[in-house]
Amino acid sequence: MRLLLLLPFIGLLWVPFYNKELPALWGFPFFYWYQFAWVPLTSLLIWLVFRDGLKKGEE
């Protein structure tokens, strides 16, 4: 479960993958909206791991 927390690191540190302007979204070049998209995504991933930990009674 904790491996999910690796995803933001891969997604954001692999810079060449998102270093482009297209496709744009509401005027935002890809470079920008892609990074913004990782904010809620990372929150969601941490929440999933947190909930999993609660179920297992982690202290």
Partner 1 sequence: MDAGINWTALAVFVFFFVLVTVMGFWASRWMAGPSNKGAHLDEWGLGGRNFGAWITWFLVGGDFYTAYTVIAVPALVYAVGAYGFFALPYTILVYPIVFLIMPKLWHAAHKAGHVTAADVVYGRYQSRPLEFAIALTGVVATMPYIALQLIGMEVVIKALGLTGELPLLAAFVILALYTYSAGLRAPALIAFVKDLMIYIVVLVAVVVVPAKLGGYGVVFDSAREVFANKGGATGLTLKPSQFLPFATLALGSAMAAFMYPHTLTGIFAAKDANTIRKNAVFLPAYTVLLGLIALLGFMAYAAGVKVQTNNDVVPALFNGLFPSWFAGFAFAAIAIGALVPAAVMSIGASNLFTRNFWKPYVNPGISNEGEAKVAKVVSLVVKLGALVFILFLPTKFALDLQLLGGVWILQTFPALVFGLFVGWFGARALLCGWAVGIVCGSWMAFADGIKPVHSFTVGGDQYSMYTGLIALALNIVVAVVANLVLGKGSRPALRSAA
Footprint of partner 1 (CB under 8 A): 2, 5, 8-9, 12-16, 19-21, 24, 26-29, 31-32, 35-36, 38-40, 42-43, 45-47, 49-50, 53-54, 59
- To partner 1, the closest distance from the beta carbon of 14 in angstroms equals 8
- To partner 1, the closest distance from the beta carbon of 23 in angstroms equals 13
Q: Quote the CA–CA distance of 16 and 36 in Å, as a whole number.
A: 16
- To partner 1, the closest distance from the beta carbon of 36 in angstroms equals 6
Nearest one of 50, 36, 32 to 8, comparing CA atoms: 36
DSSP H helical ranges for 1-59: 6-13, 15-18, 30-55
